[in-house]
Amino acid sequence: MATLIVILKIALVLICGALMVLVLMQEGKSAGLGGGITGGYSETYVGKHRADTPEGKMKRYTWVLLALFFVVALLLNVLAN
């Protein structure tokens, strides 16, 4: 049981590091403000297929890592008690 807790702690640290890197690599929401003034971004190909862009994939990976973070943290809490 102690080995599993150590493995989960190491996984939690790695997930935290990956989350920090992914969040810092993403653009802010205000980066697209210029397109909001000129309009028409949502009607372009990139606007319609935003999930297929590298930014969309990074956002998806961030949500997956966030879910893994919560699962591993809950598992550690349950196993530690």
Tens-digit pLDDT profile for residues 41-67? 556 665 666 667 878 888 899 999 999
Range in 37-41, 53-57, 77-81 with the lowest mean pLDDT: 37-41
The pair of structure tokens assigned to 77 is 């809490």
User: What pLDDT was estimated at residue 21?
Assistant: 94
What span, in angstroms and rounded, lies between the C-alpha atoms of 58 and 44? 20
With a cut of 90, say whether residue 69 has pLDDT above it.
yes
Cβ atoms of residues 68 and 14 within 8 Å: no
User: What pLDDT was estimated at residue 76?
Assistant: 95
User: What pLDDT was estimated at residue 45?
Assistant: 62
| Mean pLDDT, the chain, whole residue set | 83
| Element containing residue 70 per DSSP (H, E) | helix 54-80
pLDDT band at 23 (very low <50, low <70, confident <90, very high): very high
What span, in angstroms and rounded, lies between the C-alpha atoms of 11 and 69? 9
